[in-house]
Structure 1
Amino acid sequence: MKTVAQLFFKKRYGVVLALLFFVVINLVAGLAPLRLDLTKEKRYTVSAATEKLLGELSSPLEVNVFLTGEFPSGFRKLAGSTQQLLSLFKQLQPTQLRYQFLSPGTATANGRSWGDSLLSRGALNINLTVQKEAGQSSNIIFPVALVSYQGRSQLVNLFPGASRSISQTELNTAEALLEYQFVSAIEKLLHTDKPGIAYETGHGEPVDERTYQLRVALQDDYELRTLDLTRQQAVPQGVDLLLLVKPTMPFLEQEKFKLDQFVMRGGKLLCFIDNLYAEMDSFARKPDMVAFDRGLDLQDLFFRYGARINTDLLMDLRCEFTYVQVGGTADQPQNEFLPWNYFPLLSAAESKLRTPGYIGTRFAHSIDTIAVPGVSKYPLLVSSERARTISTPALVSLNENSTLPENEKFNRSAIPAAVLLEGRFSSLYKNRVSMAQLDAWKAGGQTFRSSSEPTAIILAADGDLPLNEYIPVLDASGQIDARGGMEPVEMGWNKYTRFEALTQGAAGKYFIPVANREFV
């Protein structure tokens, strides 16, 4: 079970694993990634990739689950789903896998309670009030599991939140993530070496607090570094994957040449690209803006590899909500939460990738694929069946959503916004590089390659997909902390609806825990 970033390293581990909030990618190995509902009792099979990973266990793997005790029905259902999944794991590895459900009050071998041990590890805990015949009782629960193997251990969060109750949507998301969460922990215990990822910073990519969740998501599993292509002669050895996130400045030919030759030597690219300048900040002074081309000059490179990120905007009736001024004055605006069609909620392309939820995007574009010999192309994320695109230059107005959208124009379905390209690529600079360039490249200890080793590229037509927003810090009562401060929300989460949900606001009902982190 791997995220999109982990997909690139399938050769190291011999499998293509499934996810998000979980992502299942299984394009080359020919595995069957879907968790199929085989019975009325909702007993599931695990993916073939999971079976293969469990087959690598060479000594006992122990799982202690602490989701036990008296708690609301949502947590009881989650505990049941966890038990069901682990029983399937046990069937696959009856001699090497052991699991048990423990109370956090149970003593460990050193005499401490498991609850104290979990708290010292920073485990998620929730203070619940349970209604009994004799009155109410307070109970701290730990919706976590501890997976141990060969003297090492990993925490598994069974519920990605701190709510005292679980909605049906949250339960569905948590259940969909279970296999990913456990397999991710097992894989970390089995494979201790870390592939190298470089985050490019030389073209205006964000390096501020918006990248916090991205760094957190990657730094435990990868050797993460930054790289400025404008200052490096070439992408250094030891970098397995190059990450391009929302570049805002043009790439010069010598910088594209470095990218190209990195791919030619077998390097992987994971690109989150905004072709157009379209930002919500532009509405700060007036209710409309013109989306225009950023001029990144990457189109010929991507086209050579088999895809084109279009200079359009993807609009979808399945979308996030945002604040829209529907009346009032500049001094006293009348705002409402309304659907914002420029924030599409993408879903996994059928049979190629699965996530436990939608992927939130901001001003995304469509992607076309081009026939290229030796390169296979697969859509990863697509729109709903009620979508459209608008060409640029495009006038975008907040007033659009103060009235009902013209539904008849939303007549396209499954518009790709993220694609996987894999195979042997041909260099953009084949038969184009001069002798002087070749001599300079060789003088730096590099070898020019006109075609690549087998490798992979993922293009996502939204630069904001892996970024996070911030909301005010709240105190224990759910009010804005008087001491101030801001804290990050999860990758891709809508800061407005998340804040409303945390503060019991009316618009909290629009909050959708999108699965961007799990996708990445």
Structure 2
Amino acid sequence: MLKSKKTQHISQLILVIGAAIVINMIAINWFFRVDLTSEKRYTLADNTKYFLKDLEEVVYVKVYLHGDLNVGFKNLSRATNELLDEFRVYAGSNIEYSFIDPMEGSKKEQKERLSEMESLGMAPQQVFEAGEDGRNTRTLVYPFAVVYYNGKQLPINLLENVQGFSGSENLNKSLETLEYKFVDAFRRITSDEKMRIAFLEGHDELDELDVLDITDQLSQNYEVDRGVLGDDPNILSPYKAVIIAKPQERFSELDKYILDQYLMNGGRIMWLVDAVNITVDSLRKSGEAVGILSDINISDQLFKYGVRINPVIVQDIQAGMIPVSIAKPGQQPSIVPAPWLYSPLLIPQPNHSITRNLNVVTSEFVSTIDTVNNDLDLERSVLLRSSRYSKVDQVPVYITLALVNQKPDRREFTQSFLPTAIAQKGVFKSIFENRLKPNNINSDLPILTSSKPTKMIVVADGDIIKNKVRFKGTNPKVLPLGFDEMTNTTFGNKDFIVNAVNYLCDDEGWMNLRSRSYTLRMLDKSKVSEQSFYWKLFNLIAPIFFLALIASLVFYYRKINYKK
């Protein structure tokens, strides 16, 4: 009898061990995870999974968001760690990573590490916090990662810093974009070929210096060319997207035909067009100028594509600054910043992948946009709008710098959220649908009257893409796109253009990762301040109480059980 029980126990043990081995073998090759969050924040996109599974070589990541961090940055660091862990589930040993405290090691090691980080453009983020004693403390945080692959390296800024958002909101936005930032970096660094994009020339568009900063930025992802159209209708075929940056001369019918057929064949175009001819430079020379209609012969073409840029100029209470001299005649020059209502700070729309989590975008003499031809099979999205308090001036419009001395009457600014940039996706109709080809076209191909599914972006301001250039003698100094010297602020212009080009060139839906939204569940700071002692005491006593209660119940159960 005893032997029988012993044999039975051994058999059960063998079965348990065997079952554990089988379950582990199954788990190695098959797994599942349950994401119970309403926004599915722990679920990777299908595109991400397929991409990670197809990695053929090791991608190594160094994360510098480590060390003595506050609660918000610790959450960002932990989320980064969890994301990379999730990546390894699909990529296996082809994803390796380490977390490094920039301030660890000897002073020499710290200096070398910080110097290397600085060379990659990774400047520390200053964090100010109020302690319980009321004193403010300042710490430096390095919210960066560097991706290494086959001798190449690519830095990633993990922190979103949207103007007007609180620290908690910016950290939450950073969590939303983590997957996109890492996957985008992986795709860029592992890709051997770059898509080709082109800046159009031949119509007095912005020159190379005017767009040098954004060209350098786009060159990290794309092969960027510049050139005129000529008479070859297929000249744009090698390019995924074409950027038309502030043209000021008329388009010939031949140019319009080449652009039209490029679009019909699935090409993507970003138009950055001024409807009114006026510049700040012309104002500075004489102090006054007249804005007139800029007729460059593309209004009918844009109208056919479903867009009309209105010949107006927007004034906005939410505006950028302009340098103004306040010195009296005979005194030393004194330059101060003053609000300039003709430089609206445009509001990015949070529901589109291009403009989500984007800073306001500075503009100059921007117009409004209307959508037309509603029978077109197009999906339309407004990207940028004016603020709640804005108005428009009809052309011709007289503008003088003396306006900076006048206090705007908010009651006159009755128009709200005027659209200034639009994205369209779908099937477009050709402007040459019922027209003859231009006489000088070098092609026998028939006119395509309906496009393949494609995309287009129209911005009613050519200066959004223009960086400022300062000359010392003959040496030009190019300022970063969107940087305002008067306020030492960097606006969202560069990110807007980069995201717009990425959107135009994206056929696989990678930009949708930027649209992820996480609900921000914030603590009530007043309650935390008033009830902090209570909750500390509760968290200290409650575990001890529950342990004592469980021990008492076990003791009582054993006493009753053994008494029987």
TM range (shorter): 0.7 to 0.9
Match in the other structure for 2:363: 361
CA contact (8 A) 1:158 1:174 kept: no
1:430 equivalent in alignment to 2:433 = yes
Shift of residue 406, structure 1, vs aligned partner = 1.8
Deviations 1:262-304 (A, max 9, x none): 1111111011111222211112232221112222111100000
What amino acid sits opposite 1:294 in the alignment?
S
Structure 2 CA distance for partners of 1:45 and 1:396, relative to 1, 3 Å: farther
Match in the other structure for 1:319: 319
Q: How does 1:59-458 map to 2 (within 5 A)?
A: 59=55, 61-69=59-67, 77-78=72-73, 80-88=75-83, 90-91=85-86, 94=89, 96=91, 99-104=97-102, 115=112, 119=116, 122-124=119-121, 126=123, 143-148=143-148, 153-158=153-158, 176=173, 179=178, 180-230=180-230, 232-326=232-326, 328-329=328-329, 332=332, 335-352=335-352, 353-370=355-372, 371-434=374-437, 440-442=442-444, 446-458=445-457
CA contact (8 A) 1:273 1:462 kept: yes
CA contact (8 A) 2:306 2:376 kept: no
Match in the other structure for 1:468: 467
Structure 2 CA distance for partners of 1:200 and 1:326, relative to 1, 3 Å: same
Structure 2 Cα separation of the partners of residues 341 and 378 of structure 1: 26
SS in 1 for 2:198: strand
Structure 1 Cα separation of the partners of residues 171 and 220 of structure 2: 22
Structure 2 CA distance for partners of 1:434 and 1:286, relative to 1, 3 Å: closer
Structure 2 CA distance for partners of 1:345 and 1:175, relative to 1, 3 Å: farther
Shift of residue 215, structure 1, vs aligned partner = 0.8
Higher percent of residues as helix: 2
Structure 2 CA distance for partners of 1:205 and 1:156, relative to 1, 3 Å: same
Structure 2 CA distance for partners of 1:333 and 1:113, relative to 1, 3 Å: closer
SS in 1 for 2:393: strand
CA contact (8 A) 1:242 1:268 kept: yes
1:490 equivalent in alignment to 2:491 = no
For structure 1, the 5+ residue unaligned runs are 1-37, 131-138, 474-482, 499-510
Structure 2 Cα separation of the partners of residues 169 and 333 of structure 1: 38
Worse-superposed segment, 167-176 or 320-329: 167-176
CA contact (8 A) 1:278 1:290 kept: yes
Shift of residue 431, structure 1, vs aligned partner = 1.8
CA contact (8 A) 2:65 2:77 kept: no
Shift of residue 49, structure 1, vs aligned partner = 8.2
Structure 2 Cα separation of the partners of residues 472 and 79 of structure 1: 44
SS in 2 for 1:285: helix
- Indicate which of 52, 62, 67 corresponds to 1:57: 52
What amino acid sits opposite 1:452 in the alignment?
S
SS in 2 for 1:323: strand
Structure 2 CA distance for partners of 1:214 and 1:233, relative to 1, 3 Å: same
Shift of residue 413, structure 1, vs aligned partner = 1.6
Shift of residue 209, structure 1, vs aligned partner = 1.9
SS in 2 for 1:342: strand
What amino acid sits opposite 1:492 in the alignment?
G
Structure 2 Cα separation of the partners of residues 308 and 47 of structure 1: 42
CA contact (8 A) 2:76 2:171 kept: no
Structure 2 Cα separation of the partners of residues 202 and 330 of structure 1: 45
CA contact (8 A) 1:305 1:372 kept: no
CA contact (8 A) 1:381 1:416 kept: yes
Structure 2 Cα separation of the partners of residues 466 and 171 of structure 1: 30
Structure 2 Cα separation of the partners of residues 426 and 105 of structure 1: 59
CA contact (8 A) 2:343 2:362 kept: yes
SS in 1 for 2:483: coil
TM-score by length of 2: 0.67
CA contact (8 A) 2:160 2:173 kept: no
SS in 2 for 1:320: strand
Match in the other structure for 2:23: none
Structure 2 CA distance for partners of 1:85 and 1:252, relative to 1, 3 Å: same
What amino acid sits opposite 1:323 in the alignment?
P
Deviations 1:437-495 (A, max 9, x none): 67x421xxx4421111111110011111122114689xxxxxxxxx9965433212223
What amino acid sits opposite 2:484 in the alignment?
N
- Indicate which of 494, 510, 533 corresponds to 1:517: 494
CA contact (8 A) 1:420 1:456 kept: yes
What amino acid sits opposite 1:491 in the alignment?
L
How many positions carry a matched residue from both structures?
435
Structure 1 Cα separation of the partners of residues 67 and 271 of structure 2: 45
Shift of residue 117, structure 1, vs aligned partner = 10
Structure 2 Cα separation of the partners of residues 80 and 47 of structure 1: 14
Structure 2 Cα separation of the partners of residues 255 and 330 of structure 1: 53
Structure 1 Cα separation of the partners of residues 44 and 383 of structure 2: 18
What amino acid sits opposite 1:360 in the alignment?
T
CA contact (8 A) 1:55 1:93 kept: no
